[in-house]
Amino acid sequence: MLDKRLLDILVCPKCKGELEYRSDINRLFCKNCSLAYKIEDDIPIMLIDEAEKTEGRIYEN
Protein backbone atom coordinates (compact mmCIF):
# COMPACT_ATOMS: atom_id res chain seq x y z
CA MET A 1 0.00 0.00 0.00
CA LEU A 2 1.32 3.40 -0.93
CA ASP A 3 1.73 6.12 1.66
CA LYS A 4 -1.14 8.64 1.55
CA ARG A 5 1.34 11.54 1.63
CA LEU A 6 3.03 10.21 -1.49
CA LEU A 7 -0.29 9.76 -3.28
CA ASP A 8 -1.19 13.37 -2.48
CA ILE A 9 1.84 14.77 -4.32
CA LEU A 10 2.22 12.40 -7.28
CA VAL A 11 0.99 13.57 -10.68
CA CYS A 12 1.15 12.10 -14.15
CA PRO A 13 4.62 12.78 -15.58
CA LYS A 14 3.16 13.24 -19.06
CA CYS A 15 0.30 15.73 -18.47
CA LYS A 16 0.77 16.66 -14.79
CA GLY A 17 -2.81 15.47 -14.20
CA GLU A 18 -4.27 13.80 -11.13
CA LEU A 19 -3.66 10.09 -10.62
CA GLU A 20 -6.07 7.51 -9.26
CA TYR A 21 -4.65 4.69 -7.14
CA ARG A 22 -6.18 1.25 -7.63
CA SER A 23 -4.93 -0.95 -4.80
CA ASP A 24 -6.73 -4.03 -6.17
CA ILE A 25 -4.40 -4.14 -9.18
CA ASN A 26 -1.55 -2.04 -7.78
CA ARG A 27 -1.53 0.70 -10.43
CA LEU A 28 -1.74 4.48 -10.65
CA PHE A 29 -3.98 5.72 -13.46
CA CYS A 30 -4.18 8.96 -15.36
CA LYS A 31 -7.63 9.43 -16.92
CA ASN A 32 -6.36 12.30 -19.10
CA CYS A 33 -3.63 10.27 -20.79
CA SER A 34 -5.19 6.79 -20.36
CA LEU A 35 -1.92 5.55 -18.88
CA ALA A 36 -1.36 3.11 -16.02
CA TYR A 37 1.83 3.24 -13.97
CA LYS A 38 3.03 0.06 -12.23
CA ILE A 39 3.94 -0.08 -8.56
CA GLU A 40 6.74 -2.45 -7.62
CA ASP A 41 7.76 -3.03 -3.99
CA ASP A 42 5.66 0.03 -2.99
CA ILE A 43 7.58 2.23 -5.46
CA PRO A 44 5.64 3.83 -8.32
CA ILE A 45 7.37 3.43 -11.68
CA MET A 46 6.64 6.89 -13.10
CA LEU A 47 8.36 6.48 -16.46
CA ILE A 48 6.18 7.35 -19.44
CA ASP A 49 7.95 4.76 -21.61
CA GLU A 50 7.05 2.00 -19.14
CA ALA A 51 3.43 3.05 -18.61
CA GLU A 52 0.65 0.85 -19.94
CA LYS A 53 -1.86 2.34 -22.37
CA THR A 54 -5.33 1.63 -20.94
CA GLU A 55 -7.62 3.25 -23.50
CA GLY A 56 -10.18 3.77 -20.72
CA ARG A 57 -10.77 0.05 -20.09
CA ILE A 58 -9.28 0.13 -16.57
CA TYR A 59 -12.31 2.00 -15.23
CA GLU A 60 -14.69 -0.75 -16.21
CA ASN A 61 -15.60 -3.03 -13.31
- By CB atoms closer than 10 A (0-12, 13-18, 19+), residue 4 is exposed
4-59: which CATH topology?
A: N-terminal domain of TfIIb (2.20.25)
Which has the closest alpha carbon to 23: 9, 5, 49, 42? 42
* Local confidence band at 61 (pLDDT 50, 70, 90 cut-offs): very low
* Local confidence band at 59 (pLDDT 50, 70, 90 cut-offs): low
Contact 13, 47 (CB under 8 A): yes
Domain boundaries, the chain: 4-59
pLDDT, position 1: 73
What digits encode the pLDDT tens for the residues 8-57?
Answer: 999 999 999 999 999 889 999 999 999 999 999 989 999 999 999 998 66
